[in-house]
Structure 1
């Protein structure tokens, strides 16, 4: 009796998440989204997950009274619409809108669930993304609760320029309105305008239609006091300088009982 030849393990094509996310196929297709167009809207059925290949987008929510708020900004390598893979399919809780021309991979819920179950390399990568997104949301919450509006604005600009991420930062960030920045940090457009002008005078940013972020902007969020050694010699905040949190604690400790 002739024995059947064994299949070589090398003949099996190894799954590559990067190739999967870069190409169209069964249950997924590449779409082009123009500036201002939505990938999906709040209240739509959550049937697709989107993987942003190029471009920038923002995630916004609208309250029952019609007030809109920007939750976060999205860039290449981000998934959005991940609620589509929940145990029970529901509705999108936010709207994803392109702020630059975008290219995205639109993946159906069924295909997303299939590849998550069958391909461990993909599920590991997707889980790592979700954990990273969760940590980012926690950091945003801490930032909103404890930091000043100046620090919140500096942090948003640095995140948009991708400082702290692998590779060289972009520095020149996508066009974004002061109203959107104000929504994201919980202040008014006039305050954003004031601090943007202050950052520009201090040399932290350059602004001529688009914002060019310099690494020196990190000083705003790394230091708890005014920039006494800054070569410009100008205070970041107007009026009397606030005491740092350490100075405040020392002052309280010296107060009589």
Structure 2
């Protein structure tokens, strides 16, 4: 009988992990996505889309589907989902591990301003006109309507609909990874003097941070939220090594 794994995904690491586990024929792996991205990348494992109805709903799903391991590979800022995963693990007795990539570290030459949330990032922009690159999710853009004096360049995987009620906003629809050279060109061509970004970590979206350093551009960094204390790994390889220990039949495949 196959061991059942449920991955709570949405990150590059979740996709990479699912791609590897799809080749392990003694595992039945399912990837769960929140459904915020309209055109997700096609996956080699079954994909479940949408929420579970909170921690209890997820716990019920784990029990009803006899899931042997829950893997939280959600975005580092998906604090509510991670909290629900920890509580659902407790309620159902299903083991839980988290795949949490490290955040970026400030380096010499970086001009970072650390804030706690999006609203604080809006306030940090100040009253004077700035040319701002917003590297945030579509759901987090609305507070910037309170600062219409700035000129915005907004990049998202899906179109921003409806557009922000601000006089000047240029929209870019694109999916990473983004190379540093391309980010340098984007920032320079648009005269960007400020970036607003989460500390997402990983390499796929680090290009804008490196480009900002090279150009001396200020970056308003939204701090990571507190996440539940669970068994965590920082890489796909580390998770796979853990799976080799708890599902020893998988060794050598």
Same fold per TM (> 0.5)? no
Q: TM-score, normalised by structure 1?
A: 0.29
Which structure has more relative contact order (CA 8 Å, sep 6+)? It is 2
* Larger gyration radius, structure 1 or structure 2: 1
Q: TM-score, normalised by structure 2?
A: 0.30
